[in-house]
Amino acid sequence: MQIYFLVVFTHLLGGFVLSSHFLDEKIEDFASCTTLLNNNRFKLVLGIVTVLTALFTLLKVSPADVIIIGDILPAVSGFLLGGYFILCYFYEHLDESRSWMKGYVDFMEDRGHFAGLAAVIIAILHFLVPSALII
């Protein structure tokens, strides 16, 4: 039950972090949250918790779960979100830029609001229908 809560919470928070610039333009009062959401240490901690939560989502198996499809979408999106937040933190501290890291971080910087809104939708659907075959 705790992993289920953490999956939903980290996806909501990660989605808001990724789409914070987009939501800042659309929602007036969202600007007050933007400073916290764009803090590098906050992103690092959120990335670590998101990756660990995605890992434990894949490791938890009970007889009532749909093993292969039940939690695969939140786990994969959790790895992608958490990996991005961790790579962002270390990407700024590297002297040389690695091509795969630069490509992934640049892609998420340019198109991150789509991934952020998708993470929020995944979190809401996973909260409402946790044992569905497609979520």
134 within some domain? no
Total tally of structural domains belonging to the chain: 1
- Write out pLDDT tens, residues 40-66: 888 889 899 999 998 988 887 666 655
24 within some domain? yes
10 within some domain? yes
Given a cut of 50, whether residue 135 has pLDDT beyond it is no
133 within some domain? no
Q: Which two tokens stand for residue 51?
A: 């990756």
90 within some domain? yes
113 within some domain? yes
pLDDT for the residue 131: 63
Provide CB contacts within 8 A for 12, sequence distance 6+: 119, 120, 123, 124
135 within some domain? no
39 within some domain? yes
7: pLDDT confidence band, cut at 50, 70 and 90? confident
Assign 3-class secondary structure to 5-63: HHHHHHHHHHHHHHCHHHHHHHCHHHHHHHHHHCCHHHHHHHHHHHHHHHHHHHHCCCC
Residue 37 buriedness (CB in 10 A; 0-12 / 13-18 / 19+): buried
- Write out pLDDT tens, residues 76-126: 888 999 988 888 888 766 666 666 777 787 788 888 878 888 888 888 887
pLDDT for the residue 48: 93
pLDDT (average), residues 10-24: 80
The structure's pTM equals 0.79
Range of the domain at 48: 1-128
Given a cut of 60, whether residue 6 has pLDDT beyond it is yes
